[in-house]
């Protein structure tokens, strides 16, 4: 059971985000870490391979600047190796361009299953995984809250607006997982040490036969023309509770005729 997990290395979400004033691209300088949303996919993959008794987890990721520290975190959790596509021309790539690059790399790994988060924490476009599935000609199941492999086929509980659906699919397939799907392990010290020497194959887009015109800002075929502050809500009233604040809430609701 070979599983590929698509992972993204993002600026630390705790730090205030900012846009490049010229291009309006998200600034991705400074330390990049493994997107928290991807820890669930990595953990799910490790558990599925473990259950199958054979196979391995390969990470696939894209970066404009050769960064690998987020990958090492996922390798420390137990993934076997990584494929990193690193190329200057990737700066400003949109979701579809990203999907084309990742799909080309994933194809080389020939996995039985591809996992990804439902969306990244920094870009949250949310379409890249199904775009990858379409490019590779594979079925996809998104928003999985439970994933099992049973007799060579995929069984997923997929969230819906009304509750959840039980979905089945043949393999190979692509699944996006929600945060509740598993509890990600913390890498052990042994895992962190081992991660340092696990293979990270670095490729350029030329290695994948992809033209620079398909990626980057040009390939994106979209642009941000303006960024401005949204209308701020007027500041509200603050009440420090000293035992009676609930009365103020009741008064507030009465004024609104909710009560």
In the complex, least distance from residue 237 CB atom to other proteins, rounded to whole angstroms? 5
Nearer to other proteins, 54 or 231 (CB): 231
Q: Taking the C-alpha atoms of 27, 33, 39 and 43 in order, what is their torsion angle to the nearest 10 degrees?
A: 140
How far apart, in whole angstroms, are the C-alpha atoms of residue 246 and residue 215? 55
Nearest-5° Cα angle at 65, 95 to 103: 35
Region binding other proteins by CB under 8 A among candidate stretches 53-61, 95-103, 104-112, 196-204: 95-103
Of the candidates 208, 186, 190, the one whose C-alpha atom is nearest the C-alpha of residue 198 is: 190
- Cα distances from 175 to residues 71, 169, 245, in angstroms, run 20, 10, 47
Nearer to other proteins, 72 or 158 (CB): 158
Q: Is there binding between residue 112 and other proteins (CB under 8 A)?
A: no
Which of 47, 126, 192, 201: binder of other proteins (CB under 8 A)?
A: 126
Region binding other proteins by CB under 8 A among candidate stretches 71-79, 80-88, 104-112, 119-127: 119-127
Which of 22, 30, 163, 209: binder of other proteins (CB under 8 A)?
A: 163
Q: Is there binding between residue 241 and other proteins (CB under 8 A)?
A: yes
Q: Is there binding between residue 20 and other proteins (CB under 8 A)?
A: no
Region binding other proteins by CB under 8 A among candidate stretches 43-51, 67-75, 204-212, 218-226: 218-226
- Cα distances from 55 to residues 45, 102, 116, 175, in angstroms, run 10, 21, 18, 18
Residues 49-68 binding other proteins (CB under 8 A) are: none
Nearer to other proteins, 54 or 226 (CB): 226
Region binding other proteins by CB under 8 A among candidate stretches 64-72, 73-81, 190-198, 250-258: 250-258
Of the candidates 117, 118, 1, the one whose C-alpha atom is nearest the C-alpha of residue 58 is: 1
Q: Is there binding between residue 129 and other proteins (CB under 8 A)?
A: yes
Which burial class, exposed, middle or buried, applies to 163 when counting CB atoms under 10 A from its CB (0-12, 13-18, 19+)?
exposed
Q: Is there binding between residue 169 and other proteins (CB under 8 A)?
A: yes
């Amino acid at each position: 059971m070979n599983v590929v997990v698509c992972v993204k290395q993002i600026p630390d979400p705790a730090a205030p985000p900012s846009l490049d004033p010229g291009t309006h691209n998200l600034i991705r300088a400074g330390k990049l870490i493994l997107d928290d949303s991807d820890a669930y996919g990595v953990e799910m993959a490790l558990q599925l391979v473990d259950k199958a008794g054979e196979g391995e987890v390969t990470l696939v990721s894209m970066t404009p600047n050769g960064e690998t520290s987020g990958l090492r975190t996922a390798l420390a959790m137990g993934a076997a190796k990584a494929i990193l596509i690193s190329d200057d021309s990737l700066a400003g790539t949109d979701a579809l361009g990203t999907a084309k690059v990742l799909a080309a790399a994933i194809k080389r790994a020939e996995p039985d299953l591809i996992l990804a988060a439902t969306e990244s924490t920094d870009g949250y476009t949310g379409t890249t995984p199904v775009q990858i599935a379409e490019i590779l000609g594979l079925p996809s199941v998104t928003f999985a809250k439970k994933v099992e492999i049973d007799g060579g086929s995929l069984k997923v509980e997929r969230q819906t607006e009304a509750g959840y659906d039980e979905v089945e699919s043949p393999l190979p397939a692509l699944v996006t997982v929600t945060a509740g799907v598993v509890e990600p392990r913390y890498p052990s010290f042994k895992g962190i040490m081992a991660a340092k020497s696990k293979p990270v194959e670095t490729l350029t887009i030329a290695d994948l036969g992809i033209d620079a015109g398909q990626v980057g800002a040009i390939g994106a075929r979209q642009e941000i023309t303006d960024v401005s502050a949204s209308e701020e809500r007027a500041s509200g009233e603050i009440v420090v509770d000293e035992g009676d604040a609930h009365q103020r809430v009741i008064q507030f609701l009465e004024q609104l005729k909710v009560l």
